[in-house]
Amino acid sequence: MSQLFEINTIDQQFYEGRLRAFLPDRILDVHTHVWRKTFRRAAPTGRAVTWPLRVAEEHPAEDLLTTYDRLFPDKSVRALIFSFLESHDDDFAGANTYVSQCASEHNLPALVFASPQWSADRLEQEIVRGGFLGAKVYLTLAAPSIPAADITIYDFLPHHQLEALDHHGWIVMLHIPRSARLRDPVNLSQMLEIERTYPKIKLIIAHVGRAYCPEDVGDAFAALAKTERMMFDFSANTNAHVFEQLIRTVGPQRILFGSDLPITRMRMRRICDRGTYVNMVPRGLYGDVSEDPHMCEVDGSEAETLSLFLYEQIEAFRKAAERTALTGPDIEDVFYYNAMRMINQAAQRPDLPIG
């Protein structure tokens, strides 16, 4: 076995005992990062957490496909891929070209990693030239002069780009900003405005709006009950209570499975401590994490029982699905058909083959 990562007995028991029968035979993962470390030229901006880089400095497509084979040995898994950049000093051209090449080689759909500095014409050209189906946007690319707490969606997803994306009916993968996360009134107002103003965009709210703990929700789902089209992936989120509220609010046909690989290869269990998510990890496995409020090390038998982040994520959704009485076809929609339909629509092809 290669040194990418190992599947141990705890993982095998977790998968066989809790997940294998729950998961459909085909899975389409809408949230995966593929990049080479040479594309990331700048130090972290300080606007996002840094612990994910402890899992992988880079993530070539071959590692992604190997990960699927190991984690889901009896399933057929494909992905919607995009890069992982944080700064305008990073190599956007190299990163997006690499993703485009990987998508072509492995027959995968992909998104361009977009800069808010691009004009509408530039965004369209990048998407068409690379064979992309839309854009991944990220809060760290907002103008450096804006304090992190004050960043809004439009600071890194400007209206001129939204107009271009809407014109073509393309996908937008949106990681919302601001410390209040999903409950933030500015975020909610702008999410609703995007749906209302740009109706042809296939808008995905990543991580269920970063609602990792119950305190991140507030009255967000009351506001989101008014929506009709925006979709939500539950990548890198392990909160079954949040998932249950999401299912009851928008229904299973607007929920998408996403992994956020490679970070969900992390060996961990997540808890909430006074409204802050904390990743419990085996001592020493990810270096010195003593200064990171989102990380906590455990020892002995507790460490030995830890499985993988992605398994914990899917198990949380399984519990929410059980509580909300989702059916087998509902689960197939969440893990495959919803994404397949969205990708087909963005590609303007009713029968786009995916792997």
Q: What is the pLDDT of residue 42?
A: 83
CA 243-25-327 angle, to 5 degrees, is 45
Instruction: Compare 72 and 48 and report the one with higher pLDDT.
Output: 72
Q: Give the Cβ contact number of residue 224 at 10 Å.
A: 22
- How far apart, in whole angstroms, are the C-alpha atoms of residue 109 and residue 355? 10
pLDDT per residue over 130-176, tens digit each? 999 999 999 999 999 999 999 999 999 999 999 999 999 999 999 99
79-124: per-residue pLDDT in tens?
999 999 999 999 999 999 999 999 999 999 999 999 999 999 999 9
Q: Token pair of 267, please?
A: 């060996």
* 205, 233 Cβ separation under 8 angstroms: yes
Q: What is the chain's mean pLDDT, rounded?
A: 96
DSSP-based three-state secondary structure for 252: helix
Predicted confidence band of residue 336 (pLDDT cuts 50, 70, 90): very high
- Is pLDDT of 210 > 90? yes
Query: Has residue 214 got a pLDDT over 80?
Result: yes
Q: What are φ and ψ of residue 161, in 5° steps?
A: -75, -40
**Residue among 309, 211, 212 nearest 260 (CA):** 309
The amino acid present at 217, given as its one-letter code, is V
Position 350 scores a pLDDT of 55
Helix then strand then coil, in percent of the chain rounded to 5, is 45, 15, 40
User: Environment class of residue 296 by beta-carbon count within 10 Å: exposed (0-12), middle (13-18) or buried (19+)?
Assistant: middle
Instruction: Answer yes or no: is pLDDT of 37 > 70.
Output: yes
Quick one: tokens of 159? 């209206």
pLDDT above 70 (res 275): yes
Work out whether the CA dihedral 342, 345, 350, 355 comes out positive or negative. negative
Whole-number CA gyration radius for the chain: 19
Which helix (H) or strand (E) element contains residue 34? none
* pLDDT of residue 35 exceeding 50: yes
pLDDT at 2: 44
Instruction: Please name each of the domains of the chain with its CATH number.
Output: 9-266+310-347 (3.20.20.140), 268-306 (no CATH)
**Residue 43 in 3-state DSSP?**
coil
